[in-house]
Structure 1
């Protein structure tokens, strides 16, 4: 075949392949059912027909459903990814009244979604939804009786919705259903949740006539859950083996009964060769006959651990193999709900359960929000330490002023700078920026967390700090210091060397004078020279005719000139050149006299040190 023909054939094949690729990508379609507003796509007579037609093409199809209540359903098979989107689950939204059958609607493809609609099953003996994908903002209602509203398969998610099945199971997980999530959802039923799989539950509102959670196999991880028991024999959490060793980890639960003596909040039982475990923390139990019930059967352990929770210690039963471990709990403390009679179980201002939960930061598996979706770990009591509350709801405090704290040393000297410190001030509100303004009782001011201020008079002095946040909320604190005016002390006066050769032009000689001060002071130095005297009355005085018969002594005569040196508190030194008033001292013995005077004018002690001028 001619090479040019082959080249043309190759081009034609490439173009055909590209067209097929475009055609395959384009097969992802939008179907419009029941005249949804703004929908651009292919019109279909029912959701059921749209799902069936979607299976015939490749790609992920979108099925938009109009508002209104219709008899319709869907049976989405695995391998047929679709998004079924209604106009909302409430009044004026989309409602599918499901047909009778094992399940009225099925979403078997794990990546498929059903959104924003109500699914209603009214046929007795029929279930509502079998879910392997994701349901978001969906309201499911099951028929009255022993049926299942929603069956959750492996990796399924139900969120932002409601599930109601009076007299039956709101949700069921069968053995093998792994990685199932229910979040931000209200559930109501004889069994709100019947779990034999692996469940993660976050921010759930459960109302039950019999069991809030019944677990026989598998595991549940529940956080931020409100369980209300509406019938006389209802249970909140119940774990009892039914072919495996079930376990429940539950944190931040609020379980409230009607006061019936037959109601049980938490029950864990073992038996049949299987153990059972419940770990409960940061939870409230109120108005039930039995708060905690643990019973191990035969040789099988039933273990119950409870911490940082509030329940009635007298309403606890623990028997048989296994252990009940309780630590850091509160004994029937009134939670001070906002309005329990109206079903408002938030904590009110001043509740003893605020900041009473497990100390420390949230772990990577802890929910960052409470049942209302509000931040979970806050400083609720205003002490500038954030600790989680007990119960499903975290107290949400209003904006608050900073807490001002001031510190200063107990004592200081006048003219010495005093350190005032407001570093321990804080703000209970996360993220607030603070400023610090100081005022002192002598009229001085300063700005900053840590400042220094010197007082010129003795007595008790006060520094006041005003701590202000960016919203102009403020608080003040005071710190006092006792300022004294003690005489300065000069010690450790030295002259090295003490045999001094006065400075000459050819060499710098002289000596180093050193001394230590108790506080900053000006030191006056005078030089004295020994001379003869007479001892009179214990004193060595200048000789005279009147003292000619007195005992001889040596007295020190102060020379005319002097010099000053200012020293800081502590060790000081300077160079002495052997001159006084610019004139070299004559060879002989001398004495250096040092007297300090501090900044307030108080004169201190006198210190002496002899030295000799060499020829």
Structure 2
């Protein structure tokens, strides 16, 4: 074991036995012996006794907290982060249900995150997904707060426009929508998570939905992603659409952790519909509504 120092005969290193390595270390099998969040060794060493080393194996200052951690690593808390937050529509009619979603995590292995939403009209909800009905027209700002078990937080906002059907205009122009990520020919490398998709959208009347279709060719047919976990066989001429999240003039989509697309060439199509009902008619590489790319590992 590694011993970094001792205080009055009490080791501040790794001499003490660990009953459950999986509850203490990030990945014992991969020889990653950094401490997990809430490991029993956190703050269990002595401090202020003299002779301790002021840095851990990574150079982090110790102690972090009320006392030294046992072992070579000093656990340091980090705040959670939010990578994507949005709603199913950017503009919605009064009385219709609007769905919200957030994607985030905590960088500390073993920690977890809870989410709370407020919708700008006095309402609120808990969870990574939420539904809400606005009773009056207006411009609202929904806010989601991510809180980890140490009380550290991250926030994101989602602007929402709520309108009355009597105020809908005679707009006949479909939304302007494009794909920013992936770029044409880009290689998206799958690591611990699969890279998501991002882009821009705008409409004079308000955007109701942004939909994606992800596919790869197999023989004479295509495999279409269902927006959840699976790729399904089907005709290449019949896209399987799924919704992206909208946040102001941006849209985004993130894969769940259980999805691991096979390496190879893919194509991503996009279409948008405004609150009046106008929809993007065609997809093309020229307008960045159709992008060919590759997933790699």
TM-score (norm 1): 0.16
Give 1 or 2 for the bigger CA radius of gyration: 1
